């Protein structure tokens, strides 16, 4: 009985590891980081092969199948959580504030964030849009700065893959 439970837990742990790595690998692929994605893929598949090998050797143990499935589900959750903590890549924030655009821009610039202010036309007339590209790991900090100045600011966030040019903080 103990061997059955330990086997299922081993599979669960291996699946958590390989699926978590797979989640991060997918993000690396999307961002074009081919060498890191290749290394992550190697480790991911190696762990998976060991897990499936163990299952095939113990097909009569139903607990292994549940360990496999539970590890897959938990691996997704843990992989996404790890990736959010690491904050790989960049995001573009678009900010629209009715009356505090200049104050937001000045504060962000003092915090070493580069940005561009674009003229815009809204339903209520002329306004401005702040466009800011920053590392994903800085996203919450930037949004907190914006919301501390204008809690009603309209903010959109989207993935960004910078092609050329300078991004504050990207170079040391």
Q: Are residues 155 and 123 in the same domain?
A: yes
User: Does one domain contain both 21 and 77?
Assistant: yes
Give the tens place of pLDDT for each residue, 47-93.
999 999 998 998 888 999 999 999 999 999 999 999 888 888 889 99
Report the pLDDT value the prediction gives residue 35, as an integer from 0 to 100.
Answer: 97
Longest dimension (CA), the chain: 72
Domain around 12: 2-86
Domain annotation covers residue 166 = no
| 141 confidence band (pLDDT: 50, 70, 90) | very high
20 and 78, same domain (yes or no)? yes
pLDDT of residue 171: 39
Domain boundary residue, one of 27, 53, 86: 86
On whether residue 169 sits in a domain, the answer given is no
Instruction: Please check whether residues 42 and 18 belong to one and the same domain.
Output: yes
Q: Is residue 110 part of a domain?
A: yes
If you average pLDDT over every residue of the chain, what do you get? 91
Mean pLDDT, residues 89-105 taken together: 94
Q: Does the residue 66 lie in any domain?
A: yes
DSSP string, 22-89: HHHHHHHHHTT-HHHHHHHHHHHHHHHHHHHHHHHHTTT-HHHHHHHHHHHHHHHHHHHHHHHHHT-S
Q: Note whether 105 and 155 are same-domain residues.
A: yes
58 and 102 share a domain? no
Tokens matching residue 45: 């598949």
Of 166 and 33, the structure prediction assigns the larger pLDDT to 33
The residue from 67, 86, 105 where one domain ends is 86
Could you give the number of structural domains in the chain? 2
Which residues touch 64 (CB under 8 Å, ≥6 apart)?
7, 8, 11, 54, 55, 58
Residues 82 and 115 in one domain: no
Residues 6+ apart with CB under 8 A from 81: none
For residue 7, how many other CB atoms are within 10 A of its CB?
Answer: 18
Judgement on whether residues 110 and 145 belong to the same structural domain of the protein? yes
Predicted local distance difference test score (pLDDT) of residue 126: 86
């Amino acid at each position: 009985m103990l061997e059955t439970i330990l086997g299922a837990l081993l599979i669960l742990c291996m699946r958590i590891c390989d699926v978590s790595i797979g989640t991060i690998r997918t993000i690396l692929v999307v961002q074009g980081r081919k060498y890191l994605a290749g290394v992550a893929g190697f480790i991911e598949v190696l762990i998976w092969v060991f897990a499936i090998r163990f299952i095939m050797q113990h097909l009569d143990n139903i607990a292994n199948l549940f360990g496999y499935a539970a590890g897959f589900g938990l691996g997704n959750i843990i992989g996404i959580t790890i990736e959010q903590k690491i904050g790989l890549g960049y995001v573009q924030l678009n900010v629209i504030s009715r009356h505090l655009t200049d104050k937001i821009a000045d504060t962000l610039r003092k915090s070493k964030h580069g940005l561009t202010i674009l003229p815009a036309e809204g339903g209520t007339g002329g306004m401005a849009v702040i466009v800011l590209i920053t590392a994903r790991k800085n996203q919450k900090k930037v949004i907190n700065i914006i919301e501390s100045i204008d809690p009603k600011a309209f903010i959109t966030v989207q993935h960004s893959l910078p092609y050329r040019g300078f991004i504050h903080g990207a170079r040391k």
